[in-house]
Structure 1
């Protein structure tokens, strides 16, 4: 078995790069959706949600950079074109959403998909003792689970 300079198996690291680039693409779509929600939200909850969406897209921007840098660390090249992001993303595109409930629902659906992808990466990273990727995914998952819980709590007031 061949190992890279990090002491990780080359073949499995290359497979992780593919998975991480998929996550990167999905995060780019998530980020752009959040920007659109931030710009287009209307209604009585505008002030609260406008700020919340900004908080979420700023956090996503940081995560996007971390994912791309992990791809580079593992010896890959991060995807960086809109066509790549569209091709590799599983997220719904949220176009012209101004309603608060629709906006939160889009975020919840997106988080669910991101969490699924991150768990796959977490497991694959654990199999090859890639603690760097594993730790990053673990941190992402913990934060997103909390965001999911909070947004679901917000949605319950509508029921």
Structure 2
């Protein structure tokens, strides 16, 4: 088995790069959705949600950079065009959403998809002892699970 300079199997690392690029694409759509929600939210909860959506898109922007840098660290090239993001994303594009419940539901649905992708990456990176990717995915998962809990509480729904 051939190893890269990180001591990880080359073939499995290349597979992780593909999956990280898929995650990157989904995060870019998530980020843009959050920007749209931030700009277009209306109603009595405007002030609270406007700030919350900004917090979420700033966080996702940081995660996007971490994912892209991990792709580079593993020897890959991060996707970086809108056409690539759209082609490789599973997330629904939220267009013209201004109602609070619809906005929060879009975020919840998006986080659910992101978590599934992250768990798949975590599983595969664990098999090859890729601690860098493991750690990043674990951190993302922990934060996003808490966000889902909080948004579900806001929606007055059970987990």
**Normalised by the shorter chain, which TM-score bucket?**
over 0.9
- Structure 1 gaps of 5+ residues are none
Deviations along 1:111-159, whole A, 9 cap, x unmatched? 00000000000000000000000000000000000000000000018xx
Structure 2 Cα separation of the partners of residues 96 and 133 of structure 1: 35
Q: What's the Cα RMSD here?
A: 0.6
Deviations along 1:78-135, whole A, 9 cap, x unmatched? 0000000000000000000000000000000000000000000000000000000000
SS at 2:155's partner residue? helix
Q: Which residue of 1 aligns with 2:73?
A: 73
- Structure 2 gaps of 5+ residues are none
Q: Which residue of 1 aligns with 2:35?
A: 35
SS at 1:156's partner residue? coil
Q: Which residue of 2 aligns with 1:53?
A: 53
Q: Which residue of 2 aligns with 1:143?
A: 143
What number of residue pairs does the alignment pair up?
157
TM-score, structure 2 normalization:
0.98
TM-score, structure 1 normalization:
0.98
Q: Which residue of 1 aligns with 2:104?
A: 104
SS at 2:84's partner residue? helix
Matched, 1:18 2:18: yes
SS at 1:34's partner residue? helix
After the TM superposition, list the runs of 4 or more consecutive aligned residues in structure 1 that deviate by more than 6 angstroms: none
Q: Which residue of 1 aligns with 2:153?
A: 153
Matched, 1:131 2:131: yes
